[in-house]
């Protein structure tokens, strides 16, 4: 993997720090220290936090900042029968449940990995983080020729009881980031209850459930003075033969919903930083998942697909439980030209099938973070 270089910083968070630290020992600063990675214009640090597991900090592309922090803040899994409704990071903190990986065997989707221990050191002795390159693939084919591009993958895995989460961050040479979660392991199973479950292996039955994966994304698009805009596509005309496409600034802390018929997405923009054509630089969050979930009445944190807040050190990412605190962060503060944080809920419904028992193939889900006018030209033009 000749294009990947990684150097360790002096300050490294150690996985064995207790989840509930004594009062005289405050939790580690989530933005401090980490393990540096530089690759094809990308620069970022990774580290392990007790509750969130592997997180990224100080992410930049082509020497311009993109994200100050990125990680999973919670995974909420309500079952179709009404119970259970676990908040996975409440009961199974990711940082305490990392799965040891096997160099040369576990690389995804294959090839050579660099393997790292929890303290960030290169290690083939039960590493918990791996980094590898994906082979170049075709990304442009047209009148100007063709272009192949590769990706850098940083990934880890977590055991939550019988269930396993594989979390990977994929970085493209075009400036795109593709956060993905793979769901695998063994399904929760029991006997009986034909109403809300599927027979997966006599006499085992498995409940349908929804994975709501909350990502915390603290954007810094070429600086901290950013604004969130929402995109909506709206058919117009007597016969809906035309359409308008608008970007609308969001002025105050709030929660917003997905709207598939409007192709809704969101971007974080820096109005004072402009590319060669004069467009303000931004990154767009393009939603993924398989549907829209709304929690029970008391579960207000799952009543929107995207929450937008103003950055505060005691809110992001914090060791507080997301379900207990997220909506308290949203108190109508002004967020135009501010340091903004996006809390995105990626929702996937899983209805078990016979092929999921007893070793369930990985079910992948994810979304995209794409540069929008962040660059001066197409990053894939043939040279």
| CA–CA separation, 62 and 274 (whole Å) | 14
What pLDDT sits at residue 191? 57
CB distance 301 to 326 below 8 Å: yes
Q: Residue holding tokens 């179709």?
A: 80
| CA–CA separation, 363 and 348 (whole Å) | 10
Beta bridge partners of 129: 116
What pLDDT sits at residue 268? 98
What pLDDT sits at residue 270? 98
Whether a cis peptide bond, with omega within 30° of 0, leads into 317 is yes
Per-residue pLDDT in tens (0 to 9) along the chain, 383 residues: 333 443 332 223 223 333 344 455 556 677 788 899 999 999 999 999 999 999 999 999 999 999 999 999 999 999 998 888 999 988 899 999 999 999 888 886 666 789 999 999 998 888 999 999 988 889 999 988 999 999 999 999 999 888 999 999 999 999 999 999 999 999 877 655 677 788 888 788 888 999 999 999 999 999 999 999 999 999 998 888 889 999 999 999 999 999 999 999 999 999 999 999 999 999 999 999 999 999 899 999 999 999 999 999 888 776 678 889 999 999 999 999 999 999 999 999 999 999 999 999 999 999 999 999 999 999 888 87
| CA–CA separation, 252 and 228 (whole Å) | 10
CB distance 341 to 253 below 8 Å: no
pTM of this prediction? 0.90
Q: Measure the CA angle with vertex 129, ends 54 and 166; round to 5°.
A: 70
Sign of the CA dihedral with 116 first, then 117, 120, and 124 last: negative
Sign of the CA dihedral with 84 first, then 309, 73, and 273 last: positive
Sign of the CA dihedral with 105 first, then 108, 114, and 115 last: negative
What pLDDT sits at residue 318? 66
Strand, coil or helix: 356: helix
Closest CA to 245 of 270, 258, 264: 264
| CA–CA separation, 285 and 264 (whole Å) | 10
Q: Residue holding tokens 């919903």?
A: 257
Beta bridge partners of 116: 122, 129
Q: Assign residue 122 a region (left: φ > 0; alpha: ψ between -120 and 50; beta: otherwise).
A: beta
Q: What does each C-alpha distance from 217 to 1, 78, 175, 221, 285 come to in angstroms?
A: 28, 23, 16, 12, 10
The class that CATH gives domain 5-18+32-372 is mainly beta
What pLDDT sits at residue 356? 93
CB distance 363 to 182 below 8 Å: yes
First to last CA, the chain: 23
What pLDDT sits at residue 291? 95
CB distance 37 to 44 below 8 Å: yes
CB distance 317 to 55 below 8 Å: yes
């Amino acid at each position: 993997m000749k294009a990947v270089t990684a150097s360790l910083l002096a300050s490294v968070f150690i996985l064995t720090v207790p989840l509930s630290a004594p009062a005289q020992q405050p939790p580690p600063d989530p933005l401090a220290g980490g393990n540096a990675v530089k690759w094809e214009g990308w620069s970022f640090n990774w580290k392990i936090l007790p509750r969130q597991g592997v997180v990224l900090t100080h992410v930049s592309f082509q020497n311009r900042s993109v994200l100050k922090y990125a990680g999973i803040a919670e995974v909420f899994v309500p079952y179709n029968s009404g119970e259970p409704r676990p908040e996975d990071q409440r009961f199974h903190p990711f940082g305490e449940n990392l799965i040891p990986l096997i160099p040369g065997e576990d690389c995804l989707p294959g090839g050579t990995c660099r393997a790292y221990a929890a303290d960030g050191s290169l290690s083939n002795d039960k590493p918990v983080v791996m980094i590898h390159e994906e082979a170049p693939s075709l990304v442009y084919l047209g009148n100007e020729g063709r272009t192949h591009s590769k990706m850098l993958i940083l990934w880890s895995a977590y055991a939550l009881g019988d269930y396993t989460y594989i979390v990977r961050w994929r970085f493209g040479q075009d400036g795109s980031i593709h956060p993905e979660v793979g769901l695998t392991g063994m399904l929760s199973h029991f006997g009986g209850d034909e109403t809300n479950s599927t027979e997966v292996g006599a006499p085992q039955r498995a409940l349908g459930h929804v994975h709501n994966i909350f990502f915390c994304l603290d954007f810094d698009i070429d600086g901290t003075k950013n604004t969130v805009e929402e995109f909506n596509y709206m058919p117009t005309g007597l016969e809906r033969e035309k359409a308008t496409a608008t970007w609308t600034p969001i002025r105050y802390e709030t929660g917003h919903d997905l709207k598939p018929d409007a192709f809704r997405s969101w971007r974080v923009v820096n109005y004072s930083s402009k590319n060669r054509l004069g467009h303000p630089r931004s990154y767009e969050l393009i939603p993924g998942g398989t549907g829209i979930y709304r929690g029970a009445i008391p579960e207000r944190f799952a009543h929107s697909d995207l929450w937008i807040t103003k950055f505060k050190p005691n809110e992001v990412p914090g060791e507080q439980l997301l379900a207990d605190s997220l909506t308290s962060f949203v108190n109508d503060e002004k967020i135009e030209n501010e340091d903004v944080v996006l809390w995105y809920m990626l929702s996937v419904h899983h209805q078990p099938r016979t092929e999921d028992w007893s070793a369930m193939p990985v079910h992948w889900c994810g979304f995209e973070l794409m540069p929008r006018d962040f660059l001066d030209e197409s990053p894939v033009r043939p040279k």
